[in-house]
Each structure stands twice: as structure tokens, then as C-alpha cells.
């Protein structure tokens, strides 16, 4: 009888400890969410693809990006921006040609910022974009210089913006690291369970520092049929320090310089618009 009571008490204490841990995790997660949610943006991309038939098709997609500088510099997973790029990494036989026709950063107040891709890193699956014109106010941004390393089985917090049907609401989820890959470079492998996180979602350690963002890692399938594709790609968490190195190489946006010059009779020289355009060069 005494043994049964002891077992019951032990079970109750274990349950209480687990509940307290869950509450602590939720509290830390909410703090991270409140501090960083506005640095997560929806990026709308119009992609034109041309296959072997030569007939182009166009698609519009909403992607998740993380703003990493108050100027609006934003990082996404390249495989989300241009999925064909992922399949080219898997096989040289993949012949679909793609072109990014339009990029916009969608803010939560309804503002749409026309943007452009300024740098692609195929090896790390990163795309960096900048607004074509300077934002009217500094944007909320993740500080990549304050990063954290994590270990296997450690919980982390991923932030995202949901799709249009969900009102593009901000969301947070608790993820868990299932493995740490050290070669050829460090990647964190997340648990494969269901999650609201997406490619491009920034991920934070419980101390509030950023760990990295979700990207796809792909290696050559060695099979032009593509049947082994799923065995040669996986979702990984790319460390923030690698993203920071790429961000430092991201050039300024060309902005309005790509557009044909307007006639002098149509717009007087020395206007604010012209000065802003020069600032972007």
C-alpha cells in the first residue's frame, strides 16, 4: 500500500514538473514572438516558367521572409522563390527555365513594397531582396549578430506569417532539433513532425537569440529520372552566422534606375524622386 502511494506521488510530481516546464517554454516563446514578429514578412513573388514545350506559365505565391536590416534587406529560401533551382541541384537534366517577374514585400499595415532580388546563394539556398525605394521608416529586423548555437533535442521557436486564408496572421511554433550536421558545414535538422513553420521562417533559441532560418538542402540525385529526389533533399536550419556573411555581400537595389528615363518636359530636373533614385545606386 505504501509503495503504491509513493508511486502515485512520484507520478504526480513528474506531471507537475512537466506542466511547469511547458508553462516556462510557452512564456519564453511568447516573449520571443512579441519581440520579433514584425520582422517576419510575407513576400509575394510572380514566377514565370517555361518548359520543354516552350509555353510559359505564370504563378503568384506568398512566401515567408525575415527582415535582417532596418533598410528592408530581407532573406528567403531560394528554393521557395524559385523551386526550379532546387531541382536543378538534384539533376542536370531538369530543363525548365524560370524568371522572377515581380517581387513585393507585404507589411501588416497593408503596405506593399516593390522589391528586387539582389543576391542569390545556390549553395546555401538563400535569396536576398531589397525594397526598390527606401522605406518611409526603419523596418523591424532580426539581429543576426546575436546568434545562438543549439544541440540535439533542444526546443526552439519558429516564427511565420500564415497564408491569405488565415489573414496572413503571425504565428509561432515550438520545434525541436533532432540532429546536428557538422560536415560539409553546420546545419541543424528539425524534427519532421507537423509544424506551421515554413521555408524562410526565422528560428530562435529560448534565450531570445536567433539560430537561423529554414532552407532546403539538396544534393545531386545521380538519377535523371528524379525518382530518388526525396532521398536527396531535406529541410535544414541554416545558422545565422552563415546568413550574416551573405547579407554583408548583398548589393544595393537598382530601384528605379531600371526604368526608362522620363523626358525633361514631363518632370523637372532635381526633384525629390530623382534624388531618391540616386541614393539607391
Q: Are residues 155 and 235 in the same domain?
A: yes
Dist. CA 142–CA 164, nearest whole Å:
24
DSSP states along 150-178:
--TT-EEEEEEE--GGGTT-EEEEEEEEE
The domain boundary, picked from 110, 140, 170, lies at 140
CATH number of the domain bearing residue 229: 2.40.10.10
Dist. CA 124–CA 120, nearest whole Å:
9
In a domain? residue 255 = no
Q: Are residues 194 and 131 in the same domain?
A: no
The grid coordinates of residue 11 equal 507520478
Closest CA to 194 of 164, 174, 167, 170: 174
Q: Picking from 31-35, 66-70, 94-98, 171-175, which range would have the lowest pLDDT averaged per residue?
A: 94-98
Give the chain's domain count. Answer: 2
Question: Which residues constitute the domain of residue 122?
Answer: 39-140
127 has which bridge partners? 76, 120
pLDDT of residue 19: 54
CB 96 within 8 A of CB 149: no
Q: Are residues 32 and 46 in the same domain?
A: no
pTM: 0.81
In a domain? residue 165 = yes
Q: Are residues 103 and 32 in the same domain?
A: no
The domain boundary, picked from 88, 107, 140, lies at 140
Q: What is the dihedral of CA 243, 249, 252, 257, to 10 degrees?
A: -120
Whether the pLDDT of residue 229 is over 80: the answer is no
Three-state DSSP string of 187-226? EEEECCCCCCCCCCCEEECCCCCEEEEEEEEECCCCCCCC
Q: Are residues 150 and 227 in the same domain?
A: yes
Q: Which pLDDT band, with edges at 50, 70 and 90, does 83 fall under?
A: confident
Q: Are residues 33 and 149 in the same domain?
A: yes
Whether the pLDDT of residue 97 is over 60: the answer is yes
The grid coordinates of residue 186 equal 553546420
In a domain? residue 101 = yes
Q: Are residues 155 and 119 in the same domain?
A: no
Three-class SS state of 144: coil
Amino acid at each position: 500500500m505504501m509503495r503504491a502511494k509513493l508511486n502515485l506521488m512520484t507520478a504526480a510530481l513528474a506531471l507537475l514538473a512537466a506542466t511547469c516546464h511547458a508553462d516556462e517554454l510557452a512564456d519564453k516563446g511568447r516573449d520571443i514572438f512579441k519581440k520579433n514578429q514584425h520582422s517576419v514578412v510575407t513576400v509575394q513573388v510572380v514566377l514565370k516558367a517555361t518548359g520543354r514545350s516552350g509555353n510559359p506559365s505564370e504563378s503568384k505565391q506568398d512566401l515567408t521572409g525575415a527582415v535582417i536590416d532596418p533598410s528592408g534587406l530581407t532573406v528567403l529560401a531560394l528554393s521557395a522563390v524559385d523551386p526550379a533551382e532546387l531541382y536543378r541541384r538534384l539533376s542536370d537534366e531538369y530543363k525548365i527555365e524560370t524568371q522572377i517577374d515581380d517581387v513585393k514585400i507585404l507589411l501588416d499595415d497593408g503596405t506593399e513594397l516593390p522589391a528586387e532580388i539582389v543576391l542569390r546563394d545556390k549553395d546555401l539556398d538563400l535569396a536576398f531582396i531589397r525594397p526598390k525605394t527606401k522605406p518611409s521608416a526603419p523596418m523591424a529586423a532580426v539581429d543576426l549578430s546575436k546568434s545562438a548555437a543549439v544541440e540535439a533535442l533542444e526546443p526552439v521557436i519558429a516564427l511565420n506569417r500564415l497564408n491569405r486564408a488565415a489573414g496572413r496572421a503571425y504565428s509561432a511554433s515550438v520545434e525541436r532539433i533532432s540532429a546536428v550536421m557538422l560536415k560539409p558545414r553546420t546545419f541543424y535538422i528539425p524534427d519532421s513532425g507537423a509544424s506551421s513553420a515554413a521555408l524562410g521562417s526565422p528560428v530562435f533559441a529560448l534565450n531570445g537569440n536567433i539560430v537561423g532560418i529554414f532552407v532546403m538542402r539538396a544534393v545531386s540525385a545521380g538519377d535523371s529520372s528524379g525518382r530518388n529526389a526525396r532521398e536527396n533533399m531535406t529541410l535544414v536550419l541554416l545558422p545565422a552566422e552563415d546568413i550574416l556573411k551573405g547579407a554583408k555581400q548583398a548589393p544595393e537595389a537598382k530601384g528605379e534606375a531600371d526604368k526608362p528615363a522620363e523626358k525633361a518636359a514631363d518632370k523637372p530636373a532635381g526633384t525629390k524622386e530623382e534624388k531618391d533614385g540616386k541614393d539607391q545606386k
